[in-house]
C-alpha cells in the first residue's frame, strides 16, 4: 500500500496529567515506539503536518525538526477556531494522536467517513470529503455534518495517565514484532539466550559477558549504541532504546520499554521510560511511567499492588478526582524533571507532577503537585514550590550531561506550568 497523506492531531480531550505538560499526546512513548511513530510505521502514514494545542506548538516543532528547518514536519495549532489546512488533498486522513493502536479500520476509511470510539464517543480518525470538513474536525474534533460515522467497540484512546500501562502490552508487542523482523541474527559471546521469540540486537549495541536474555514469552530488541552490562537479565517482551545503559545485575522484567539515553538498574517491570532519565541504582519500579530528565535516587522503590489485592485508584493530577484504573497492578506515573532522594518510597497509584523534588523520609502517596519541593520540614502537600532560578539551573545541568540544551520554548513552558 502506498503511503497515505495524513495529519495527526492532539485534541487535548484526555486528562493525561504530567504526560502532556511538555509534549503532545502522540509523542508519549506507549510501547517501544511513541504513538506517532507506531501510527506512521504500521499504517504507512505520510504525515504532512501535526496539529496540537496552541501551548504545545513550539515544543512540538522542536521535537520534529525545528521550526522552519529543512525536512521538519509542519506544526499547526488546532482547536482554536483557525485550523486552516494548506496540506489538504483528496484522501487526506486525520488521525487522533491519542489512538495507541494502529487500527486497520483507519486505513479502510473512505471519503466522508469517520471512526469513533464507542465508549467515549470521541473521534479516532476521519477522511474528510472537503477542506471545509477537515477544518471543522480540527476545530471541533467531531465528525462533520453529513459524514458517515462508524464506531469501534474496543477502547483505543488514551484518556488517563494510567492508560499507558493499560495499552502497553499490546502496543509493545506490535512494535517489537516489526522491529525484530528486520534484525540480523546476533553473534554473542559469554551470553545466555533462551526461548523461541526473536532476540534482535543492533550491530552497534554492546552486550557484555554474563548477560541473560529470556525470550520464552516475547522478543527482546536492543537499539543502536545501547549497552547491557555484565550480570543483567532482560526478560521479553522488552525494548532497550538507543544509547541507553542497563547496569550490572539489573533485572529488566517483561513488558518494559526503556527509551533513548536512559540508565536503568535494580528491578524494573512493566515500566515505560520516556527517555533521557536515570534509575541508575538498586530499587524496584513496577507498572510505571517515568518522564524525561527525571532522576530516581538510590533505593527509590514503588509499590504496584495493594495489600488488599484490590483495584488501584489514582488521580490524573493533584487537583483531579480519585478514579478507578481498572487495574490490579498499577504503580506510579512520574512526570518530567522529577527528582527523588535515596530510599524514596512511592506507594501504589501515585502521580508525581512535572518538576517535583521529593526528599522526604515519609512515603509518597496520592498525587503530588507539579514543582513541589518536598522535605521532612515541608512534605508533599505543604505547598512549598521549587525556586525558579534553582530549578532552571538544575534542568540546564541535567540536560547538559546528555549534550542537550534547555531551549527558550522549554523554559517558557516550564515557567508557565509552575506559575513563575
* Torsional sign, CA 149, 152, 153, 157: negative
Count of other CB atoms within 10 angstroms of residue 365? 14
* Cα–Cα dist 235/171, whole Å: 17
Domain extent listing, the chain: 4-152, 163-380
CATH homologous superfamily of 163-380: Hexapeptide repeat proteins (2.160.10.10)
Q: Once rounded to an integer, what is the mean pLDDT over residues 373-385?
A: 93
pLDDT of res. 297: 98
Q: What is the pLDDT of residues 309-318, one digit of tens each?
A: 999 999 999 9
Mode of pairing for the β-strands spanning 322-324 and 267-273 = unpaired
Under the banding of pLDDT at 50, 70 and 90, the label for residue 254 is: very high
Q: What is the pLDDT of residues 79-114, one digit of tens each?
A: 755 556 776 777 899 999 999 999 999 999 999 999
Global pTM?
Answer: 0.96
Q: Which residue has the cell 495507541?
A: 100
Q: How many helices (H) and strands (E) does the chain have?
A: 7, 33
Does residue 163 carry a pLDDT above 90?
yes
Report CA 337 to chain centroid distance, whole Å: 14
Under the banding of pLDDT at 50, 70 and 90, the label for residue 146 is: confident
- What sections of 275-401 are H helices per DSSP? 388-400
With a pLDDT cut of 90, the percent of the chain lying above it is: 88
Amino acid at each position: 500500500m502506498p503511503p497515505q497523506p495524513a495529519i495527526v492531531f492532539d485534541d487535548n480531550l484526555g486528562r493525561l496529567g504530567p504526560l502532556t505538560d511538555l509534549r503532545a499526546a502522540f509523542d508519549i512513548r506507549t510501547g517501544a515506539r511513541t504513538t506517532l511513530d507506531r501510527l506512521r510505521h504500521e499504517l504507512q502514514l505520510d504525515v504532512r503536518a501535526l496539529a496540537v494545542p496552541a501551548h504545545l506548538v513550539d515544543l512540538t516543532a522542536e521535537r520534529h525538526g525545528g521550526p522552519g528547518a529543512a525536512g521538519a514536519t509542519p506544526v499547526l495549532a488546532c482547536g482554536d477556531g483557525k485550523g486552516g489546512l494548506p496540506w489538504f488533498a483528496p484522501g487526506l486522513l486525520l488521525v487522533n494522536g491519542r489512538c495507541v493502536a494502529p487500527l486497520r479500520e483507519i486505513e479502510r476509511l473512505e471519503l466522508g467517513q469517520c471512526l469513533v470510539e464507542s465508549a467515549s464517543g470521541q473521534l479516532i480518525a476521519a477522511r474528510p470529503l472537503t477542506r471545509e470538513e477537515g477544518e471543522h474536525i480540527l476545530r471541533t474534533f467531531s465528525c462533520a455534518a453529513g459524514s458517515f460515522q462508524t464506531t469501534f467497540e474496543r477502547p483505543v484512546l488514551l484518556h488517563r495517565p494510567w492508560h499507558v500501562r493499560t495499552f502497553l502490552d499490546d502496543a509493545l508487542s506490535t512494535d517489537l514484532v516489526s522491529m525484530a523482523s528486520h534484525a540480523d541474527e546476533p553473534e554473542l559471546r559469554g551470553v545466555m539466550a533462551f526461548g523461541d521469540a526473536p532476540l534482535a540486537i543492533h550491530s552497534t549495541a554492546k552486550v557484555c559477558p554474563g548477560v541473560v536474555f529470556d525470550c520464552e514469552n516475547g522478543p527482546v530488541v536492543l537499539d543502536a549504541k545501547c549497552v547491557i552490562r555484565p550480570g543483567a537479565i532482560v526478560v521479553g517482551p522488552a525494548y532497550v532504546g538507543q544509547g541507553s545503559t542497563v547496569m550490572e545485575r539489573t533485572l529488566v522484567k517483561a513488558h518494559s520499554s526503556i527509551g533513548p539515553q536512559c540508565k536503568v538498574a535494580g528491578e524494573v517491570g512493566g515500566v515505560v521510560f520516556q527517555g533521557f532519565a536515570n534509575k541508575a541504582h538498586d530499587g524496584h519500579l513496577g507498572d510505571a511511567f517515568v518522564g524525561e530528565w527525571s532522576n530516581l535516587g538510590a533505593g527509590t522503590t514503588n509499590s504496584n499492588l495493594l495489600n488488599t489485592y484490590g483495584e488501584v485508584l489514582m488521580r490524573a493530577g493533584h487537583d483531579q478526582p480519585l478514579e478507578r484504573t481498572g487495574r490490579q497492578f498499577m504503580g506510579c506515573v512520574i512526570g518530567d524533571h522529577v527528582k527523588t532522594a535515596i530510599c524514596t518510597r512511592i506507594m501504589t497509584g501515585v502521580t508525581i507532577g512535572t518538576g517535583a523534588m521529593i526528599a522526604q523520609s515519609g512515603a509518597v502517596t496520592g498525587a503530588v503537585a507539579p514543582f513541589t519541593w518536598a522535605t521532612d520540614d515541608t512534605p508533599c502537600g505543604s505547598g512549598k514550590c521549587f525556586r525558579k532560578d534553582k530549578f532552571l539551573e538544575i534542568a540546564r545541568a541535567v540536560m547538559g550531561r546528555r549534550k542537550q540544551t534547555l531551549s527558550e520554548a522549554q523554559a517558557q513552558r516550564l515557567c508557565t506550568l509552575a506559575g513563575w
